[in-house]
Structure 1
Amino acid sequence: MSRPAVSIAGLCKAYRLWPRPHDLLVEALTGRRRHAEFVALQDVSLDLAAGTVLGVLGRNGAGKSTLLRIIAGTLDATAGSVRVDGRIAAILELGTGFHPDYTGRENVLLGGMCLGMSRAEVKAKLDEIVAFAELEEFIDRPLRTYSSGMQARLAFAVATSVDPDVLIIDEALSVGDARFQLKSFDRIRRFKSEGRTILFVSHSIQTVVAICDRAVLLERGRIIADGEPNEVGNLYHELLFGRNEPARSAVASEGPSETSGTGEPRAADGREMRYGIRSVEIARVEIVDRHGAPVCRLRSLEPYEIRLEIVAVADTVPLHYGVLVRDTKGFEIFGWDTASAGRAPRPGLAAGERRVHRLRFRCTLAGGTYFLTAALAREDGIKEDVRFDAVEIVVEPTPALHVSSLVNLELTDVSGEALHGDAGEQTSG
């Protein structure tokens, strides 16, 4: 069995905090403790096989960046060990080694050497770096004349030009415009296809699900979930929008535990996860056809209706409701709720009262498997009931579409048809 590309054992990191600057001097002279400790990481252990793409999720202050900086070797651990096999490159802060008064070309040399490349290696890759950053016209101008987007493009191009065995990325793919972000993701996907090991920190669940094989969830310096990205992403979503306490201290691959009405995540029919304070519950989620019959197998471009039956456990305040459609990887295809639609919340319910919300739609999905999520929330954002992936939807194979298609745009080939109007009728301004 081959050794892991990254092996972390019992990793801890604590920072000493002094109330006032002179307390450090007093402590050094008297030996009396004047500091408090902030523990950023607690007993983190993790083995990462070569070629794995690991997503690291967690709220601000959870310890994500601290973990990556220790793995990259730019920060010392208080306890524990980290071993990395092969060459490592880290994108922790875009622009590391850059100087505003130097030209882009000079900064490419500086930045590349800061990342461990020799001057000869950087020069050999210079044209490739400049072309990727699309800065040929500006490369000999001072960096201070660059826009923030141009600086970000140059920094990312330099950082990813290193030929690493292990690549660490800390929220660096959110830089630049949409076009450059797409290029950045394509480069990361190429690294993945080449079997490189990647550790990727992001607040975006969709991004982690799209490019990662495995994910971990950090909370208060500890790993509280480790497993399939979609499952860990669901737990992270609960951590953000559900209760304020960690979802649970367990690995996600064990599956959420079944509970009743406590707000804990629970599994239903294998994939569904549920959370919320549950003073009102979504008792039933279903899709019906034009005749009102419940269906789970849909045909592209046919009309259907989503029905959410809710029941109040106790008297409730006014509520917003919404739905979300995701694919098998957890990528969000469509989302809608009354709040984002600019609609007023629906009136509250009395204890024991039932209500059915109906949403009509035309199935413009291409053939494949999807999952429907339904949610209820108060006006202040507190989630009453969220049923993730409550209904599995199978859209029958759609003729004349590529098998990788997610949507059906109902495309019509009009090549050869006459254009509307007559060229002689057009006038010049």
Structure 2
Amino acid sequence: MSTAVSTAAIEIHQVTKSFKLYREKAQSAKERVIRAGRNPHTTFKALDDVSFSVGTGETVALLGHNGSGKSTLLKCVAGTLRPTSGRIVTRGRLAALLELGAGFHPDLTGRENVYLNGSILGFSHAAVDRIFDDIVEFAELEQFIDNQVKHYSSGMYARLGFAVAINVDPDVLLVDEVLSVGDEAFQRKCLDRVQRLQREGRTILLVSHATETVRQVADRVVVLDHGHMVVDGRTGEAIRAFRETLQKRGIPLPEGVDAHVDPEATGEVPVVPGPAFDHDPSATVAFKDVTVRYHEKTADHATPGEPLSIEIPYHATGTIRDVVLSIEVFDVDGHKLMGTNTDFIEQPIAGMKGDGTIVLHLETLPLLDGRFHLRLAFHTRDGGRVYDERDFVDSFQVMNPTRTQGTIHLPVRVEHLYSF
């Protein structure tokens, strides 16, 4: 998705950032003579001619291996680093949460640092007073807010920094990896607040290695590789390009980078050969569409506990044996309710050739009210190649005729045991 410059909250024009790497100092007169006349340093380009824009209200994620330039770019946008060449323009109040403890004075208390950060962002003491309790409550630091931050753990640092950044009412929020800090409950709270900012139309530029988080929040993804921008595109396509970049360079996938496999799965799934197909390595397969069949043929929704079937027609060019279908179900807020694939449920696809249809049968639908969407992907068993990946928004609807509340339907049987 391209963004018109006139509506961009962040504009990055041909930005290059170079650093001088100095050689080790000569230890003897002989070394000084040998090195005489040589340049004492080399130039390292952390960013090389990077250009893209982020529209107002858009969320863009930066992906790349360690050393690709993600954090350097974020610092340039924040103004803590100055580009060697190029131009960066931001519009609106900007709040940045960069590396751990950035903007905090270690000898000041948490309370004093909140007011210090507020003043740096242009807030008066009275204005910080109005949001102070919200900051402390979000950071869960009520008992420690008057301690010096040099005694804080890394998680406490991150919680306070994030709480300040989101409560100063930013138009543009820059976030570097903070969504992966802290326990699972705090990560969920951070993600919920980011999604709330999105609904309010705020602009977000974030760095994260966790592609699951990126899938949930990013409208677009920019992939960097050794300072070069290699992809600027849709989230699924960009994540695929990121994985391919890592694999080409022989870099292991970082923790949090999914390869369309279940991160909790252990053990290896054996490759099941198809009885009638010889695999063509140049072959590919693509989705045609998805059709949801409700239990009542004339219904436009499902009822909890009823069966549901999902028809997935496809077209394969060539013959394919190494193929897995991944299925993910999300609610309207982007929360993943389920993720699996045909190998995990021990119903592998034997092979594909030409046109065909895969039908998923949900024998008992365990969901209550809501609209739900599907994300489907055809990929190889090792996740190294994604043939096709699609989001099917508003795939199906469930309406609950009972008074049971919540998201999932759990059949309950009551047994009353008593004695006189």
TM-score normalized by the length of structure 1: 0.66
* Correspondence 1:137 to 2:143: yes
What do residues 377-415 of structure 1 show as CA deviations (whole Å, max 9, x unaligned)? 3xxx473664434x979865433289xx9x973356x7x
Equivalent residue letter for 1:298:
R
Residue 110 of structure 2 is matched in structure 1 by 104
Residue 325 of structure 1 is matched in structure 2 by 328
- Taking structure 1 as reference, are residues 321 and 210 closer, same or farther at Cα in structure 2, changes over 3 Å only? closer
Residue 63 of structure 1 is matched in structure 2 by 69
Q: Distance in 1 between matches of 2:162 and 2:343?
A: 37
Offset at residue 244 of structure 1 (A):
4.2
Query: Does the 8 A contact of 1:53 with 1:198 survive in 2?
Result: yes
Query: Does the 8 A contact of 1:171 with 1:200 survive in 2?
Result: yes
Equivalent residue letter for 2:65:
R
Which residue, out of 275, 293, 301, partners 1:298? 293
Q: Which 10-residue stretch deviates more, 80-89 or 60-69?
A: 80-89
Query: Does the 8 A contact of 1:279 with 1:384 survive in 2?
Result: no
Equivalent residue letter for 2:293:
L
What do residues 82-130 of structure 1 show as CA deviations (whole Å, max 9, x unaligned)? 1222332211023224355543323323444455545454344322221
Equivalent residue letter for 2:89:
R
Query: Does the 8 A contact of 2:291 with 2:311 survive in 1?
Result: no
* Correspondence 1:409 to 2:405: no
Equivalent residue letter for 2:190:
S
Q: Distance in 2 between matches of 1:98 and 1:8?
A: 27
Q: Which 10-residue stretch deviates more, 183-192 or 40-49?
A: 183-192
Query: Does the 8 A contact of 1:11 with 1:43 survive in 2?
Result: yes
Residue 180 of structure 2 is matched in structure 1 by 174
Q: How many residues align?
A: 363
Residue 214 of structure 1 is matched in structure 2 by 220
Which residue, out of 374, 381, 398, partners 2:378? 374
Q: Distance in 2 between matches of 1:337 and 1:119?
A: 54
Residue 184 of structure 1 is matched in structure 2 by 190
- Taking structure 1 as reference, are residues 393 and 73 closer, same or farther at Cα in structure 2, changes over 3 Å only? closer
Query: Does the 8 A contact of 1:297 with 1:394 survive in 2?
Result: no
Query: Does the 8 A contact of 1:278 with 1:384 survive in 2?
Result: no
- Taking structure 1 as reference, are residues 116 and 334 closer, same or farther at Cα in structure 2, changes over 3 Å only? same
* Correspondence 1:49 to 2:55: yes
Query: Does the 8 A contact of 2:328 with 2:340 survive in 1?
Result: no
Which residue, out of 401, 416, 419, partners 1:421? 416
Alignment partner of 1:235: what SS? helix
- Taking structure 1 as reference, are residues 282 and 82 closer, same or farther at Cα in structure 2, changes over 3 Å only? closer
Q: Distance in 1 between matches of 2:121 and 2:82?
A: 18
- Taking structure 1 as reference, are residues 34 and 186 closer, same or farther at Cα in structure 2, changes over 3 Å only? same
* Correspondence 1:74 to 2:77: no
Q: Distance in 1 between matches of 2:287 and 2:7?
A: 47
Offset at residue 71 of structure 1 (A):
0.9
Alignment partner of 1:10: what SS? strand
Which residue, out of 205, 214, 222, partners 1:199? 205
Alignment partner of 1:42: what SS? strand
Q: What RMSD, in angstroms, separates the aligned Cα atoms of the two structures? A: 4.8
Query: Does the 8 A contact of 2:15 with 2:87 survive in 1?
Result: yes
Query: Does the 8 A contact of 1:91 with 1:159 survive in 2?
Result: yes
Query: Does the 8 A contact of 1:9 with 1:44 survive in 2?
Result: yes
Offset at residue 31 of structure 1 (A):
5.3
Q: Which runs of 5+ in 2 are unaligned?
A: 251-278, 295-301
* Correspondence 1:13 to 2:8: no
- Taking structure 1 as reference, are residues 359 and 129 closer, same or farther at Cα in structure 2, changes over 3 Å only? closer
TM-score normalized by the length of structure 2: 0.67
What do residues 173-213 of structure 1 show as CA deviations (whole Å, max 9, x unaligned)? 22222332233223323333333322122223332333333
Offset at residue 79 of structure 1 (A):
1.0
Q: Distance in 2 between matches of 1:152 and 1:63?
A: 21
Q: Distance in 1 between matches of 2:408 and 2:66?
A: 39
Query: Does the 8 A contact of 2:94 with 2:170 survive in 1?
Result: yes
Query: Does the 8 A contact of 1:89 with 1:166 survive in 2?
Result: yes
Q: Distance in 2 between matches of 1:157 and 1:97?
A: 13
Residue 398 of structure 1 is matched in structure 2 by 398
Residue 339 of structure 2 is matched in structure 1 by 335
Q: Distance in 2 between matches of 1:281 and 1:62?
A: 32
Alignment partner of 1:5: what SS? strand
Q: Distance in 1 between matches of 2:401 and 2:246?
A: 38
Equivalent residue letter for 2:179:
L
Q: Distance in 1 between matches of 2:85 and 2:280?
A: 42
Q: Distance in 1 between matches of 2:222 and 2:387?
A: 22
* Correspondence 1:153 to 2:159: yes
Alignment partner of 1:374: what SS? strand
Alignment partner of 2:142: what SS? coil
Query: Does the 8 A contact of 1:282 with 1:385 survive in 2?
Result: no
- Taking structure 1 as reference, are residues 163 and 373 closer, same or farther at Cα in structure 2, changes over 3 Å only? closer
- Taking structure 1 as reference, are residues 369 and 106 closer, same or farther at Cα in structure 2, changes over 3 Å only? closer
- Taking structure 1 as reference, are residues 283 and 213 closer, same or farther at Cα in structure 2, changes over 3 Å only? closer
